[in-house]
Amino acid sequence: MAAISSMFQKLTLYLINEKFKVLKARYFPSGNLMSASCGNKPSATWHSLMVGKIFFSRGLRRSIGNGRTKGVWTDQWVPSDAPIILTRPNHIETGEEMVCDLLKFDKSTCLRIKSIPPNTDQGEDRWVWEHDSSGVYSV
C-alpha cells in the first residue's frame, strides 16, 4: 500500500511539473510566475492560478540576498504586516537612485528597512512568505 501511495505521489508531482512547463512556455517564457499576467484567452488553469496569485502575493516579499535582482521601487522587500512596495519620493526624477535617497523615508519605513538582515549566503534574492519565520508557505 505504501508503495502505491509513493508511486501516486511521484506521478502527481511529475504531472504537475509537466503542466507547469507548458504554462511557463505559453504565458511567461522569459519571466517568472510572479511577474506573469493573465493574457488573452487564458486557459481555465491559468486563469485560476492568476486569481490565486493575487491573494498569495499579499503575503510575499523579496528576501535580500546579494541585492542584484531586487528593485527598490518595484519589489515588495520591506518587512511589514502586509508586504509593501515603496513609493518613489517626488524629488527622485531618474532611475539612478543613490543610497542616501533611501534615508528620506518616514521613521517607520526606515526602521523596517534597517531590520532586514542581508543574507549573502542565500545567493540571489528570492521570494519568501512573510507570515512564517522560515519564509516558506505551507497549507
User: How far is 93 from 52, CA to CA, in rounded Å?
Assistant: 35
Determine the pLDDT at residue 104.
65
pLDDT in tens, 67-104: 667 677 777 777 777 767 877 777 666 665 554 555 56
* Angle, CA of 49, 55 and 72, to the nearest 5°: 105
Q: Is the pLDDT of residue 126 over 70?
A: yes
User: How far is 28 from 24, CA to CA, in rounded Å?
Assistant: 5
Please tell me the least confidently modeled range out of 31-40, 101-110, 115-124: 101-110
Kind of pairing, strands 126-129 and 60-63? antiparallel
pLDDT in tens, 2-41: 666 666 667 666 667 778 888 888 888 887 777 788 888 8
More confident residue, 54 or 14: 54
Determine the pLDDT at residue 101.
56
- Residue 128 phi/psi, 5° resolution? -135, 155
Three-state secondary structure call for residue 60: strand
Determine the pLDDT at residue 97.
56
CA 47: distance to chain centroid?
Answer: 19
Model-level pTM greater than 0.75? Answer: no
33-70 as b/e: b if 16+ CB within 10 A: eeebeeeeebeeebeebbeebeeeeebbbbbbbeeeeb
Structure letter (DSSP) for residue 56: H
